[in-house]
Amino acid sequence: MPFSKPCGLSLALCVAIGLVASSSVNATDTTRPEVTSAVQHDTLHSLRGVMPRPDDFSKNSHSHPAHPLPFIDGPGNPTDSAVQGSVTGSFAPALGAGFDGVGQGFSGPQGTFTVNSAPPDTNGAVGATQYVQIVNSAFAVFDKSTKAVSYGPVTTNTLWAGFGGSCEADNDGDATVVYDKAAGRWIIAQFAVTAAPYYQCVAVSATSDATGAYYRYAFPYGSSFPDYPKMGVWPDAYYETFNMFNGNTFGGAKLCAYDRNAMLSGAAATQQCFQLSSSYGGVLPADLDGATAPPTGSPNYLMNFGSSSLNLWKFHVDWANTANTTLTGPTSIPVASFAAACGGGTCIPQSGTRQRLDSLADRLMLRLAYRNFGDHESLVVNHSVKVGTTHKNPYTGVRWYEIRNPSGTPVVYQQSTFSPDTSYRWMGSVAMDKVGDMALGYSVSSSTLHPAIRYTGRLASDTLSTMQSENSIIEGLGSQSGNNLARWGDYSAMSVDPVDDCTFWYTTEYLKNTGSFNWNTRIASFKFPTCQ
C-alpha cells in the first residue's frame, strides 16, 4: 500500500494539530518525592493451598466504582478531525479459541461465582503458560493451552489470606494484574479502602506460576482515597498511578514507583511518589511489552489527555539516592481535535432498555503500552470520543494513537478515531506485536444492539492512521438494566503473549441475558499471520 505522511492525514492538518510536540511546558519537578515504606510485607508460600470461604461470593461486595474526574478536556465541543468512518480491503486477524471468564455462573475448582457488584472492571494478562483474569471482586487462573480453569474463582482478597489487616479483610476492588515479562512474574494488586487509613495491596509472584508463592505488600496512602489505580512494569520499578480524592474533592493524580528489585525477592520495599495538582487526572504509566528493554536509564513515561492534546511525563527513580529522583513534564502533545464521548459521562444506548451506559471518556483507557523496536520507541493508547454531530445520535468511537520518540521530542506518528458506522464504540484497549502490527478491542452498542465485544487491527505495512475491518469476538444477548446501573467497564485489557510476542489476548464484559448484576466476561486470542 502507498506510504502516507507520518500522521496519516493531510500536510495542512499535520501542521494544524502539531505533528511535533509542544516544548512550551517541559520543566523538571524540583520537589523531592514522598518516600514511604510498605507498612507490612510477608510471603504466601502457595496460593494453591488457599481455599476460599464457602460464603465469599454471597457477601455484599465493597467494590467502589471510579469517581468521575473534573472536566479536563477543554471548553467547547470540537468536531473530531481524525475519523476513520469506513474500512475497505483487509480484514483483522481471524479469531482463535474464545472462552468465558469470571462472571455470572462461572465455575472452577474453587466454586461458582455470583455477581454481587458492578462494574466488573475486567482486565487480564498473559504469561508463559497461564492467563490470569481479574474482575472487581474475584480472579481466576487459566491454562493457556487448554483454556481450562486451574485455580479459581476466588475473591481477590484470598491472595492476602493470613496477611492480616485490611488487605486480608477487605475485598474492595479496582484490582489489576500485569505480567513482568523480563522476570517472569505476576503482579496482582487491589486497594483496601473500606476505612482509612487506605492501602494499595500488591502481590508479586515468586515464580512464573500464578498459583504458587507470592511476596505480599501493603503500601499506605493515609486518609486520601487512592482511586482507579493502574500499574505499568518497567525495569527499575513497578509504576502505579492513582486519582486522589479527599472526600468527594479531587486532589489530582498521584504517580508512584514501587521498588521492583526488592519486591522480586520479597525484601522490604519502599515507594516514591509525586502528587500532581487537581489540573491532572487519569494518568497511565507505560507498561513494557516485548523482549527489548527501554534504553538503559530510561525513565518511565506517563500520559493523560487534555484539550485536544496528550500530556507526557517522565519519571526517573533512584533507589540509592532519592534526591536524584525526578518527575519531568508535562510535555503537551497536540493531537487531532476531539470531544470526550458523552461529554465524559453517560449516553451509550442499548437494545431493549432505556438504561444508558457510562462512556468513562474522562480518561485514557488501559493500557499505555510501550515497545522498543530498536530503531524507535512507541507508545500506543486509546480513549472514547464523540463522533456523531446530531443531538439524537451523538455516537462515539475509539480514538487511538501511536506516539514515537517519547525520550526526546514526542511525535504523533499516527492517530485516528475508529467509527465505521453509527453504533457506539467505547471502553477500548490497544497493543502492538513485535513487528508493529496493532490490535484494538472494544465494546459496541446501540439502540438496536445489545453490548457486543469486537476488535480491529492493522498491519505495520498498512496505510498509516487506518484500521482494518471489524471482527466480532462475541455478540451480547442482553442489555444491562436496572435503575442507575450505568457503569460499564471501567476498563478492558489487550495484552501480548510473551512466548511468541505475536498473539494478542483481549478480555472485557458482555451479557447473556438482559438484567441487573448478571454480567459475563469473555477472553479471546488472535494474531496476524505475518507475525512469526
pLDDT of residue 54: 55
What's the Cα-to-Cα distance from 390 to each of 394, 396, 418, 421, 422, rounded to whole Å?
6, 12, 18, 14, 11
Sign of CA pseudo-dihedral 411, 416, 417, 418: negative
- Provide the CA 161 distance to its chain's centre, in angstroms: 26
What's the Cα-to-Cα distance from 142 to each of 54, 96, 122, 127, 279, rounded to whole Å?
21, 16, 15, 10, 41
Q: Which amino acid is at 26?
A: N
Peptide bond into 349 cis (omega under 30): no
SS (H, E, C) 481-526: CCCCCCCCCCCCEEEECCCCCCCEEEEEEECCCCECCCCEEEEEEE
pLDDT of residue 3: 31
Mean pLDDT of successive 10-residue stretches along the chain, which has 532 residues: 37 36 44 95 96 64 72 77 88 90 96 91 98 96 96 96 96 96 98 97 98 98 97 98 96 98 98 97 98 97 96 98 97 97 95 97 97 98 96 95 97 98 98 98 98 98 97 98 90 98 98 96 97 94
Q: How far apart are the first and last CA of the chain?
A: 21
pLDDT of residue 92: 86
Sign of CA pseudo-dihedral 315, 319, 323, 324: negative
Closest by CA to 494, choosing from 439, 454, 414, is: 439
Contacts of 260 (CB under 8 A, 6+ apart): 180, 233, 234, 235, 236, 237, 238
Sign of CA pseudo-dihedral 484, 193, 220, 225: positive
Do the bridges between strand 471-474 and strand 149-155 make them parallel or antiparallel, or are there none, so unpaired?
A: unpaired
Task: Give the CA-trace dihedral at 89, 94, 98, 104, to 10 degrees.
Answer: 0
Distance (Å, whole) CA 215 – CA 264? 8
Which phi and psi angles does 456 have, rounded to 5°?
Answer: -145, 180
Say how many C-beta atoms besides its own lie within 10 A of residue 375's C-beta: 5
The answer to whether 286 touches 234, Cβ cutoff 8 Å, is yes
Task: Retrieve residue 407's grid coordinates.
Answer: 525520550
Report the predicted TM-score, pTM, of the whole model to 2 decimal places.
0.93
Distance (Å, whole) CA 310 – CA 312? 7
Q: Which residue matches cell numbers 459521562?
A: 345
Which phi and psi angles does 466 have, rounded to 5°?
Answer: -130, 150
Closest by CA to 29, choosing from 273, 302, 408, 326, is: 326
What's the Cα-to-Cα distance from 513 to each of 149, 293, 520, rounded to whole Å?
23, 44, 9
pLDDT of residue 5: 35
Give the DSSP letter of residue 196: S
The answer to whether 285 touches 241, Cβ cutoff 8 Å, is yes
Distance (Å, whole) CA 499 – CA 488? 32
Q: What is the mean pLDDT of the chain?
A: 92
Q: Which amino acid is at 250?
A: F
Distance (Å, whole) CA 17 – CA 373? 26
pLDDT of residue 63: 59
The answer to whether 155 touches 136, Cβ cutoff 8 Å, is no
CATH top-level class of 11-23+32-71+103-526: mainly beta
Helix or strand holding residue 14 (H, E): helix 11-17
- Half-sphere exposure (Cβ direction) of 252: Cα atoms closer than 13 Å: 10
pLDDT of residue 61: 54
